[in-house]
Amino acid sequence: MSTNVARVLVCLEEVGAEYDVVNIDFPSMEHKSPAHLARNPFGQIPAFQDGDVVLFESRAISKYVLRKYKSSKTDFMRDGNLNEAAMVDVWTEVEAHQYNPAISPIVYQCLIFPALRGIPTDQKVVDESLEKLKKVLDVYEARLSKTKYLAGDFISFADLTHFPYTYYFMMTPHASVFDSYPHVKTWWESLVARPTAKKLSTYMLEVAQPSVSEEVTNLGEFVGRSSRIRPGRMEPTLATSHLLTPYKMGEFSLAHRVVLAPLTRCRAHGSLVRPHMAVYYGQRASPGCFLVSEACAVSEAARGARDVPGLWTDEQVQSWKPVVDAVHAKGAVFFCQLWHAGRASCAELQPNGQAPVSSTDKQVRPQITHAGNVVEFATPRRLEAEEIPNIVNEFRIAARNAMKAGFDGVEIHAANGYLIDQFMKDSVNDRMDAYGGSLENRCRFATKVIEAIADEVGPGPVGVRLSPFADYMECSDSDPEALALHVIRTTLNPLGVLYCHAVEPRMRVNPDDGKLTLPHMLLPFRRAFQGTFLVNGGYDPEEGDAAVANGGYDPEEGDAAVAKGYADLVAYGRLFLANPDLPERFRRNAALNKYDRSTFYTSDPVLGYTDYPFIDQL
Ligand SMILES: Cc1cc2nc3c(=O)[nH]c(=O)nc-3n(C[C@H](O)[C@H](O)[C@H](O)COP(=O)(O)O)c2cc1C
C-alpha cells in the first residue's frame, strides 16, 4: 500500500468513518485515465470522494476527514484553540518538509525498490539520508522530552501523519536508529500500539513482500463512504496467509516461510548416518522448503548425546550423502547444524572417557528429564586459550565436510547452552583471559568460529542459531539483549551471514487469561540483523506437552510473526517432527498429528520417527 493511502486510512480509522477502498490498476496506467485525472489532475494516488466533494493530496484528504468526523474524543485538528491548531500545523509541516524527505529515501532504498522493483539498495543514498534523519530526530527528541506528542500533550494529526513512513522504516535494518532517541521511541511505541495501527498493518505489510508485488501495485483510491474495506483482504485465510508466501533467502528461493527446526533424534549409529534418516528427512522435504538438520557433532568430543551424527570423518560425509540427496530430490533446501556440546556431555561419550571441554570447569548439575530419568554431566575441563584455535578448526573442517556431503549450507549452533553459548554467557564463562570477562571477550570464540566458517564456505550459506534468553544447561546471561545485539552487530552483519535463527524465551503465563504465551522478545535482534531472520519457539524440556497445546509457534502465531514483519521465516520443531507434511497441512488448514514425546530420542528406525502419517493417509 502506498504511504499516501495509508495516511488517509489511518485518519479514517481513527475517527471510525465508514468508507470503501477502490483499487487502481497501476500496470495498465489506470491512474492516468481520464476518469481518474478528473479526480486527481496530477494522476496520483489517492483520490477521495464524499458525495459532491472530490479531493486529492493525502494530507488535505486526511484533514477533511478529521474535521468532518471531529468529536470530543476525536479532535485531531484542535481547530477550537488557535495556539494548539497552530502547533498541529507546525508539526504537520515538519513532517512534510523535514521528516519525510529524510526517512522516505531509506524506505524506498531498503524496502520498496528491492522488494517491488528488484532494484538493489543504494547504500550511499541510505547513509546520507540516515545522517539527515538523525539531525531531524535530534529536534524531535528535544520536543518530545517536553510534550507527550508533537503538537502538545494531546495526540493530533501531526502525530498520525508520521505513521506510514515510520512504520515502514521500522521494517528496515536501520530501525535501531530510534533506540538512541528514548522520547521519540516512546512516542512511536504509543502510536504503533493504537488499535488503528494494528489494524492497518496487514495492508501495510504487503509492500514488504515481493510475493504479492502485483497486488501492491493496485494502490488504493478512495471513492465515497459506504461499506467497510473488503473483508477477505483484512483477514486473510490460512490459504492466503503470510506464512505460506514465497521468500528469497539469499540465493535460495523458498516456497514458504515454514522451516524444519533442528531436532536431535538419536537415530544415527556410531556417529554415522543411517538409511532411515534419509526416509525421515525425505518425508519432511518438499519443493522450496527449508530444512535444518539435527545437531551434527564437529568432533568425537563434541557429542552431547549417544547416536548423534558427526561430520569429522570421510565415512561420515559419505553416510550423509543419501540423506542430502533424498532431500534435494524433493526440491528442498538443506542446511546442516554444526554442534559442539562442550560441558553438556558425559565421560562415556568422550574419547577415552576424558573430561568434556568447556569455557569453565564448573559442572552442570544433574537434570531430570520429562520421563523422570536423571541425566548426569561430567566435570568439564577448562580449555586453555592455546587449544581454542583447534576447536575453531574442527568447526571449519565440519563445515567443509557438510558442503562435501552436498548440504546447501551450515547453521552454527551457538544456542541452548552448548559450547559456543558456554563461552558467550556470563553465568558459565568465568575466564580471565582473552576469552572471558568483557562482552567482546566472551563472544570472541563465537566470532572466531563464525569467521572461520564464513571463510571456508563463504557467508552466503551460513546461518547462526542464538538463544540469548535461554538458560538451558544452566547457561544464562545477565544481559541477553546486549549479548545478542553485540554478536549481530559486530559479527553477523559485518560478515554478511545469511540468516540469524533466534530462539524465543520460554513461554510465560499471561496474567490476563492464565494461558502460556510467547514473550516475543526478539524484535531488537530482528531490527538489528541485516539478513534473513528466522524465529523459533522456546523449548523447555520440563514443560510437558503444554507448549504447543497452549500456543507457541502454531500456524496462527507463525503467520502473525511474518505478517507483522517480526520474522521472515518460522521454524517448527515438534509440529514438524509429528507432521511430515506440515506446510501442506497449514495450507489446507488441516488437523495436526500429535507428537509422542516418549519416542523423541529412542533408537527405533520407524516408531515415532518415520511412521507419523501424512494427511492423505488418514
Ligand atoms: C526432540 C528435540 C530435539 C531437539 N534437538 C535440537 C537440536 O539438535 N538443535 C537445536 O538447536 N535445537 C534442538 N531442539 C530445539 C528445537 O529446535 C526447538 O527450538 C524447540 O523444539 C522449540 O520449537 P517448537 O516449539 O517448534 O518445537 C530440539 C527439540 C526437540 C523437541
pLDDT in tens, 213-268: 222 222 344 443 322 222 222 223 344 378 998 999 999 999 999 999 999 999 99
pLDDT tens profile 393-445: 999 999 999 999 999 999 999 999 999 999 999 999 999 999 999 999 999 99
* Residue of 296, 507, 539 to test ligand 1 pocket, by largest number of atoms within 8 Å of CB: 539
Is the CB of 530 within 6 Å of ligand 1? no
For residue 89, the Cα-to-chain-centroid distance in whole angstroms is 38
Q: How far apart are CA 169 and CA 175, in angstroms?
A: 6
CA of 417 to the centre of ligand 1 (A): 13
Is the CB of 547 within 6 Å of ligand 1? yes
Q: Return the DSSP state at 98.
A: I
pLDDT tens profile 291-336: 999 999 999 999 999 999 999 999 999 999 999 999 999 999 999 9
- 3-class secondary structure, 565: coil
* Cβ neighbourhood burial of 372 (10 Å; 0-12, 13-18, 19+): exposed
CA of 77 to the centre of ligand 1 (A): 52
- Give strand ranges (E) for 419-479: 462-466
What pLDDT sits at residue 205? 56
Atom of ligand 1 nearest to the CA of 601: 1
Grid cell at residue 42: 496530477
Per-residue pLDDT, averaged over 109-126, amounts to 76
What pLDDT sits at residue 315? 97
CA of 19 to the centre of ligand 1 (A): 47
Instruction: Place 367 in a pLDDT band, splitting at 50, 70 and 90.
Output: confident
Per-residue pLDDT, averaged over 69-89, amounts to 95
Measured in degrees and rounded to the nearest 5, phi and psi for residue 520 equal: 50, 60
Catalytic residue numbers read 418
**Torsion sign, CA atoms 309, 311, 317, 321:** positive
Nearest in space to 467 (alpha carbons), one of 446, 452, 451: 446
Q: How far apart are CA 20 and CA 48, in angstroms?
A: 10
pLDDT tens profile 372-389: 778 889 999 999 999 999
Atom of ligand 1 nearest to the CA of 552: 25
Nearest in space to 273 (alpha carbons), one of 406, 376, 390: 406
Cβ contacts of 443 within 8 Å, gap of 6 or more: 423, 424, 483, 486, 487, 490, 491
Instruction: Place 203 in a pLDDT band, splitting at 50, 70 and 90.
Output: low
What pLDDT sits at residue 541? 56
CA of 201 to the centre of ligand 1 (A): 31
Ligand 1 atom 10, closest CA:
262
Is the CB of 335 within 6 Å of ligand 1? no
- The strand pairing partners of 532, in sequence order, are 499
Is the CB of 506 within 6 Å of ligand 1? no
Per-residue pLDDT, averaged over 127-154, amounts to 97
Please check the confidence at residue 540 and state whether its pLDDT lies above 90.
no
- Give strand ranges (E) for 236-383: 247-249, 252-254, 258-260, 290-297, 333-339, 357-358, 367-368, 374-375, 381-382
Q: How far apart are CA 480 and CA 488, in angstroms?
A: 12
Is the CB of 572 within 6 Å of ligand 1? yes
> Residue 471 CB: number of other CB atoms within 10 A?
17
Q: How far apart are CA 243 and CA 256, in angstroms?
A: 6
Measured in degrees and rounded to the nearest 5, phi and psi for residue 356 equal: -70, 155
Q: How far apart are CA 136 and CA 140, in angstroms?
A: 6
pLDDT tens profile 23-56: 777 666 777 788 888 888 888 878 888 888 899 9
Alpha helices in 381-443 (DSSP H): 388-405, 419-424, 439-442
Grid cell at residue 265: 533424534
* Residue of 258, 260, 264 to test ligand 1 pocket, by largest number of atoms within 8 Å of CB: 264
Q: Which residue has the cell 514483519?
A: 565
Q: How far apart are CA 553 and CA 575, in angstroms?
A: 9
What is the enclosing helix (H) or strand (E) of 536?
strand 532-536
* Cβ neighbourhood burial of 518 (10 Å; 0-12, 13-18, 19+): buried
* Cβ neighbourhood burial of 565 (10 Å; 0-12, 13-18, 19+): buried
What pLDDT sits at residue 318? 96
Is the CB of 586 within 6 Å of ligand 1? no
Angle at 533 between CA 532 and CA 538, to 5 degrees: 155
What pLDDT sits at residue 265? 97
- 3-class secondary structure, 21: strand
In the chain, % of residues over pLDDT 90: 66
Q: How far apart are CA 96 and CA 351, in angstroms?
A: 68
Nearest in space to 453 (alpha carbons), one of 311, 332, 613: 311
Highest mean pLDDT, choosing among 49-58, 164-173, 191-200, 438-447: 438-447
Q: For all residues of the chain together, what is the average pLDDT?
A: 87
Please check the confidence at residue 285 and state whether its pLDDT lies above 50.
yes
- 3-class secondary structure, 165: helix
CA of 410 to the centre of ligand 1 (A): 17
Q: How far apart are CA 140 and CA 407, in angstroms?
A: 49
Max Cα–Cα distance, the chain, nearest Å: 89
Is the CB of 164 within 6 Å of ligand 1? no
CA of 299 to the centre of ligand 1 (A): 21
CA of 203 to the centre of ligand 1 (A): 33
Is the CB of 484 within 6 Å of ligand 1? no
For residue 271, the Cα-to-chain-centroid distance in whole angstroms is 32
The 8 Å CB, 24+ separation contacts for 74-78 are 74/14, 74/15, 74/16, 75/154, 76/11, 76/14, 76/15, 76/155, 76/156, 76/157, 76/160, 77/156, 77/157, 78/151, 78/154, 78/156
Ligand 1 atom 14, closest CA:
263
Is the CB of 291 within 6 Å of ligand 1? no
Is the CB of 303 within 6 Å of ligand 1? no
Go through the chain and tell me how many residues it has.
618
For the question of whether the overall pTM of this predicted structure is more than 0.85, the answer is no
Ligand 1 atom 6, closest CA:
263
User: What's the count of helices (H) and strands (E) in the chain, helices before strands?
Assistant: 25, 20
